Amino acid sequence: MVAIHGDVSPGFEPVAQAFQQLFAEMGELGAGVSVRHQGEEVLNLWAGTRDKDETLEWQSDTRSNIFSASKALVAVAILQLVDRGALRLDQPIADIWPEFAANGKERIRVQDVLCHRSGINAFHNKIDDDAIYDWNRITELVAAEKPWWTPGEIQGYSPMLYGWVLGEVVRRASGCQSFNDYVQQHIAQPLGLSCAFGLSSKELTQVADVVAMKRMQANTGGSLVEVIRENPRGVTNRAFTNPMSLMIGTNKPQWRQAQIPAANGQATARDLATFYACLSDRSDERLLSSDQRHWLWREQTSGVDQLLHQSLSFSLGFMRLLPGGVQSNEYFCHPGAGGSLGYGDAQEGIGFGFVSRVMGQAILMDERAELLLQSVYQCVRGEV
pLDDT profile of the chain (384 residues), mean per 10:
97 98 96 98 99 96 98 99 98 99 98 98 97 98 98 97 99 99 99 98 93 70 71 86 91 97 98 99 96 95 95 97 95 95 98 97 92 98 88
Contact 134, 143 (CB under 8 A): no
Q: What is the pLDDT of residue 217?
A: 60
Instruction: Tell which residue, 173, 188, 172, has the closest CA to residue 81.
Output: 173
Question: In this structure, are residues 82 and 75 in contact, taking their beta carbons and an 8 Å threshold?
Answer: no
Q: What is the pLDDT of residue 218?
A: 59
CA 234 centroid distance within chain: 24
CA atoms of 169 and 184, how far apart (whole Å): 16
* DSSP run (H or E) holding 78: helix 71-83
Contacts by 254-258, CB closer than 8 A, 24 or more apart: 254/130, 254/133, 255/133, 256/65, 256/198, 256/199, 256/203, 256/204, 256/207, 257/133, 257/198, 257/199, 257/200, 257/201, 257/204, 258/132, 258/133, 258/134, 258/135, 258/198
Strand partners, 189: none
Q: Which residues pair with residue 314 across a beta bridge? A: 301, 319
Q: What pLDDT score does 231 carry?
A: 73
The span from the CA of 50 to the CA of 208, in Å, is 4
Looking at residue 293, its pLDDT comes to 93
Distances (CA, A) of 63 to 194, 249, 343: 8, 17, 17
Distances in Å between the Cα of 363 and the Cα atoms of 53, 111, 127, 182, 311 are: 27, 23, 24, 29, 11
- Beta carbons within 10 angstroms of residue 146's beta carbon: 11
Residue 211: enclosing H or E segment and its boundaries?
strand 211-212
Listed residue (90, 243, 86, 238) closest to 171, CA to CA: 86
Is there a contact between 339 and 64 (Cβ–Cβ < 8 Å)? no
State the pairing for strand pair 350-356/341-345: antiparallel
pTM: 0.96
Residues 6+ apart with CB under 8 A from 34: 41, 43, 44, 45, 268, 269, 270, 272, 273, 274, 352, 353, 354
Measure CA 46 to chain center: 20
Opening angle at CA 208, ends 59 and 262, nearest 5:
125
8 Å CB contact between 59 and 48: no
Q: How far is CA 154 from CA 158, 224, 295, in A?
A: 12, 20, 20
What is the spatial distance between Cα 71 and Cα 116, in angstroms, rounded to a whole number? 12
Q: From CA 162, how far away is CA 179, in angstroms rounded?
A: 13
DSSP state of 182: H
Q: Are 270 and 353 contacting, i.e. CB atoms less than 8 angstroms apart?
A: yes
